[in-house]
Amino acid sequence: MSDRRVNRDLEIFEESEPSDLSCDDAVGRTRNGVFMCKAMDAIGFVSNAKLGSKSKTVWTQGCPDEQEPFDWISDIWGWTSPYTDKRYAIAGLYDGTSFVDVSDPTSPIVLGFMDHSGSLGEGNCRDAFWRDMKIYGDVVYIVSEIDDSGVQIYDLTQLDTLVRPDPGLERGNVSRIEPDNFINTIGRSHNVVEFTERGEILIVGPYPREDNNTNACDVVVGETVVVLDVASNPINPTISCIALGDVLNEDDREPYALTNSYPGYVHDGHCFVYSGPDSRYKLNDICVFLAETEIGIYNMDSGSMISTFSYENATYVHQGWVTEDFKTLYANDEQDEECQSGFLEQCEGLDQPGHPNTYAFDITDLEVPKFINVFKNTNAHPSIDHNLYAIGKRIYSANYEAGAWVYAIQESRELKDLAFFDISNECDDIVNCADPFGGTWTHFPFSSTLSMASNGYFGLHLFQIRDIEVLLREIIDLIDEHPIGSSLHSEKQLCHARTAVSNSAMSHTEGAAGVLYGVAKAIDELGCLPGIYDIWSSDICDNLYKAQDFLQL
């Protein structure tokens, strides 16, 4: 993540942004007010001030004017209480962590704010705005780039019984929450990776405390991943370390566009019990580490690196996620779009429109991963992608100034955009953008129809994803792609079916009855009878029946 480039007026969004912005998208990408969107509505919003951050007015001592702290929300994560089914957002801000009840996403309630640990002020003026968190069971683990910030630990079940406060409170008036434990033997760190099945939390990108040169494991920090064993005692975990300096970026290669990498550094990761096609590693505990210059697949059971790999012109190998069938890794590069836009001098000769890129790798053979392709989202304006999560057949992607996106994973492993909401929409390219790293930091899904996103300078958004509309549009695309003359259906039948589905897509906001009528009409036009329709129409008919079932729930 690069330095902030501007300190803007932070009240513009708060003053002008209603919490609910319906996306009128009947004919494709269309402006709703000043926001671009598709099949996705913004239904709730909480500003950084109301989340409880004090940074805009308090954390200025010892900071040069050009480096004054600013309102900023970075990473977010979600938790659903197994006891009450309430949904909660955990939001990392510049100077602490906010806890929000989003059970009613149209009326989110800020329950409290946990102030930062560590030394926020001189020396941490503009480079300490990263805050990350992950959850094991009912406990959250929070880290930050602030010096001596350690690891804050909090039992989330307490949120169920907290008094719901006055919704008008903001900044320092928001109730303060204390951590249940604080690990101070780690200085600062960049990120957290959860390994639920193994009962471990991995702290990546750790640095020593200011008063010594080692971390909790007395190992050179640049080469380690700190492991918290949280299985038996989540609040008071035991600590160990993994040294990666000899197996990950061991040649001390520098990212194509940056100069801050070092051996063993891990920026982010995804860990799981492997149940994929490579029988040699069946049921092994595997972590995929993304490490600025390359990607490593690490066997936690044997303590060995299975493979490392990269791709041409890798600028900043940032973050990624493995699909649920364990066949594909989708990853993003945080600075390739800047390179391609000609923004960075280091990337001379790579100039091209810097649309968000998502890299796909075949990992069916864990020892020999293969680059498949790069998906360039040309439906988004040039912008930088940040975090993504592959859930089922979808990817939920945060594309900074281009907003929150949902992609469909095709059988070919290509991606197709299904829905998005550009919650920033402040600039349409990278080069002329006041801050190309503003906008959507993380896009987190609670379900296929509800997600949330952090919007850097402004706050937390809640979204409703129009699942039925997305499905109907997929059916339209399948009809358009249907090879005329290759089946029993005439061009006229296909045209009538398309019209019926298209009318359904446009009327979905008026209620299910009209949509159901259009879907039934399309089924009738194509003669879709289960088990009888021909192979060319199977996807169309299957999806029509799926839409019918969805509407009848």
Is the pLDDT score of 536 beyond 90?
Answer: no
Q: Give ∠ CA 458-444-182 in degrees, rounded to 5.
A: 80
Segment 501-516, tens digit of pLDDT = 777 666 555 455 667 7
Give the up-direction half-sphere exposure of residue 347: CA atoms within 13 A in the CB hemisphere: 23
- What whole-number distance in Å separates Cα of residue 10 and Cα of residue 19? 16
Q: How many other CB atoms are there within 10 angstroms of residue 229's CB atom? A: 15
Residues 205 and 291 sit within 8 Å (Cβ to Cβ): no
* Side-by-side strand order, sheet with 450-455: 40-47, 459-465, 450-455, 440-445
Is the pLDDT score of 110 beyond 90?
Answer: yes
Q: Give ∠ CA 288-264-252 in degrees, rounded to 5.
A: 120
Higher pLDDT, 12 or 146: 146
Biggest alpha carbon–alpha carbon distance for the chain: 77
Is the pLDDT score of 493 beyond 60?
Answer: yes
pLDDT for the residue 34 = 62
Handedness of CA 248, 249, 251, 252 (dihedral sign): negative
- Whats the size of the chain, residue-wise? 553
Residues 131 and 156 sit within 8 Å (Cβ to Cβ): no
Residue 144 CB-density burial (10 A; 0-12 exposed, 13-18 middle, 19+ buried): buried
Report the percentage of the chain scoring pLDDT > 90.
42
Name the residue among 376, 387, 392 with its Cα closest to residue 444. Answer: 387
The H-or-E segment that residue 73 falls in is strand 73-80
Report the percentage of the chain scoring pLDDT > 70.
76
pLDDT for the residue 4 = 29
Is the pLDDT score of 205 beyond 70?
Answer: yes
Is the pLDDT score of 491 beyond 80?
Answer: no
Higher pLDDT, 341 or 381: 381
Residue 317 CB-density burial (10 A; 0-12 exposed, 13-18 middle, 19+ buried): buried
Backbone angles phi, psi at 255, to 5 degrees: -55, 150
Is the pLDDT score of 60 beyond 80?
Answer: no
pLDDT for the residue 338 = 66
pLDDT confidence of 63, banded at 50, 70, 90? low
In this structure, of 31-45, 73-87, 324-338, the range with the lowest mean pLDDT score is: 31-45
Is the pLDDT score of 29 beyond 50?
Answer: no
- What whole-number distance in Å separates Cα of residue 81 and Cα of residue 70? 32
pLDDT for the residue 422 = 87
On average, the pLDDT of the chain sits at 81
Residues 400 and 436 sit within 8 Å (Cβ to Cβ): yes
pLDDT for the residue 5 = 28
Sequence-ordered strand ranges (E) for 196-267: 200-204, 224-229, 238-243
Is the pLDDT score of 296 beyond 90?
Answer: yes
Sequence-ordered strand ranges (E) for 162-231: 181-183, 191-195, 200-204, 224-229
pLDDT confidence of 48, banded at 50, 70, 90? very high
Q: How many other CB atoms are there within 10 angstroms of residue 460's CB atom? A: 25
SS3 percent helix, strand, coil of the chain, rounded to 5, is 20, 35, 50
- What whole-number distance in Å separates Cα of residue 15 and Cα of residue 6? 20
